[in-house]
């Protein structure tokens, strides 16, 4: 590899690493957004469950009461049959009391069913509108999560291909220069290269004397140009 190619490789390395960093930040953003949406989804699912449970509970109670009435009707038949066969007046009176009590139970249960049924209709009306709205919102959130997941996958793929390009590039740069590059990278937050086309270093802002500038331009040609003030690799456009 020619010396002047090293500068090109390093510059390309820098650009790709900046891209990789941008993609990583983007992935982090997307993951945060996904986490938020998952929380919203959980909230909606819980609300839906509550609304449906309210209805289920009323239906369950209704069924319960209907079974209770069936049972009491059966009991009433048994008591009436017994009444035909009583031998003592005391037993007869006792049976009459039981029959009256059972009839009362049935009347009360029927009243409760009536009230419950009205409540159920009301809740069904109220909740079905809410349920519809939440289900639509939930669908939207689920789609959002799906889209973000796909976007994350896409970005992860991009990052992987960048990483393999980076490792190829790194293998092309001599180890000692790569070492300088890596240490500068940490110091300058990834921006290792500075343009000196204007006669001053865009990295540290210091203007070069004509002699310094001429020397740097010579050094750029053999790939060794670094700002004497901040140490960044330099290039001209
Ligand atoms: Zn500088």
pLDDT (0 to 100) of residue 1: 41
- Between 221 and 132, the more confident residue is 132
Q: Which residues pair with 234 in a beta bridge?
A: 194
Give the tokens for residue 147: 């889209």
For range 97-119, the mean pLDDT: 96
pLDDT score of 222? 65
- Name the residue with tokens 């790194």: 170
Output the CA 9–ligand 1 centroid distance in Å: 20
Angle between helical axes of 3-84 and 89-172 (0-180°, round to 10): 170
What confidence tier does 56 reach under pLDDT thresholds 50, 70, 90? very high
Contact 230, 207 (CB under 8 A): no
In the structure, what pLDDT confidence band is assigned to residue 2 with cuts at 50, 70 and 90?
very low
Burial of 213 (0-12, 13-18, 19+ CB in 10 A): middle
CA of 21 to the centre of ligand 1 (A): 23
- Cα 191 from chain centre: 33
Q: Above 90 in pLDDT, residue 160? A: yes
- Provide the residue ranges of all domains of the chain, joining segments of one domain with +: 15-172, 174-237
CA-CA distance, 182 to 14, in Å (whole number)? 10
Topology adopted by domain 15-172:
Helix Hairpins (1.10.287)
Where do we find the tokens 């009536």?
A: 114
Start-to-end CA distance of the chain, whole Å, equals 22
Give the pair of three-digit tokens for residue 224.
Answer: 């060794």
Give the pLDDT confidence of 59-70 residue by residue, as tens digits. Answer: 999 999 999 999
- 83-87, 105-109, 220-224: range with highest mean pLDDT: 105-109
What is the average pLDDT across 49-57? 95
pLDDT score for 225: 84
What is the phi/psi pair of residue 208, to 5°? Answer: -85, 150
Residue 3: pLDDT over 60 = no
Confidence class of residue 6 from pLDDT cuts 50, 70 and 90?
confident
Cα(198) to centroid of ligand 1, in Å? Answer: 12
* Ligand 1 midpoint to CA 196 (Å): 9
The Cα–Cα gap between 9 and 237 comes to: 16
**Percent of the chain residues past pLDDT 90, beyond the cut:** 76
Q: Cα(8) to centroid of ligand 1, in Å?
A: 19
Check residue 197 and report its DSSP letter: T
Taking the centre of ligand 1 as the mean of its atom positions, its distance from the CA of residue 207, in whole angstroms, is 9
Please tell me the predicted confidence (pLDDT) of residue 92. Answer: 93
Mean pLDDT of 125-133: 93
How far is the CA of 229 from the CAs of 65, 178, 205, 224, 236, in angstroms? 90, 20, 9, 15, 17
| DSSP string over 34-80 | HHHHHHHHHHHHHHHHHHHHHHHHHHHHHHHHHHHHHHHHHHHHHHH
Instruction: For residues 90-114, give the mean pLDDT.
Output: 96
At 157 the pLDDT is: 98
Q: Which residue has the higher pLDDT, 189 or 127?
A: 127
Q: How far is CA 161 from the centre of its chain?
A: 25
The total of other beta-carbon atoms located within 10 Å of residue 133's CB is 12
Taking only the tens place, the pLDDT of each residue in 208-234 is 999 999 999 888 876 678 999 999 999
What Rg value do the Cα atoms of the chain yield, rounded?
41
Could you tell me what percent of the chain has a pLDDT over 70?
A: 97
Distance separating alpha carbons of residues 214 and 220, to the nearest angstrom: 10
Q: How far is the CA of 203 from the centre of ligand 1 (A)?
A: 5
């Amino acid at each position: 590899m020619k010396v002047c190619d090293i500068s090109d490789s390093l510059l390309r390395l820098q650009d790709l690493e900046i891209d990789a960093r941008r993609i990583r930040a983007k992935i982090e953003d997307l993951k945060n957004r996904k986490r938020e949406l998952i929380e919203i989804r959980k909230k909606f699912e819980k609300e839906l469950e509550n609304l449906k449970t309210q209805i289920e509970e009323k239906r369950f109670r209704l069924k319960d009461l209907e079974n209770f009435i069936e049972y009491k009707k059966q009991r009433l038949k048994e008591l009436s049959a017994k009444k035909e066969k009583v031998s003592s007046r005391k037993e007869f009176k006792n049976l009459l009391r039981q029959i009256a009590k059972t009839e009362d139970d049935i009347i009360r249960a029927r009243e409760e069913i009536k009230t419950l049924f009205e409540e159920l209709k009301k809740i069904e009306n109220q909740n079905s509108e809410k349920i519809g709205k939440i289900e639509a919102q939930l669908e939207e959130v689920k789609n959002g999560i799906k889209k973000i997941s796909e976007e994350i996958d896409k970005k992860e793929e991009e990052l992987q291909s960048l990483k393999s390009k980076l490792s190829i590039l790194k293998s092309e740069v001599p180890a000692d220069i790569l070492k300088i590059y890596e240490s500068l990278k940490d110091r300058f937050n990834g921006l290792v290269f500075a343009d000196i086309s204007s006669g001053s270093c865009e990295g540290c802002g210091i203007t070069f004397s004509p002699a310094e500038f001429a020397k740097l331009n010579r050094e750029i040609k053999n790939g060794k140009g670094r700002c004497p003030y901040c140490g960044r690799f330099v290039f001209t456009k």
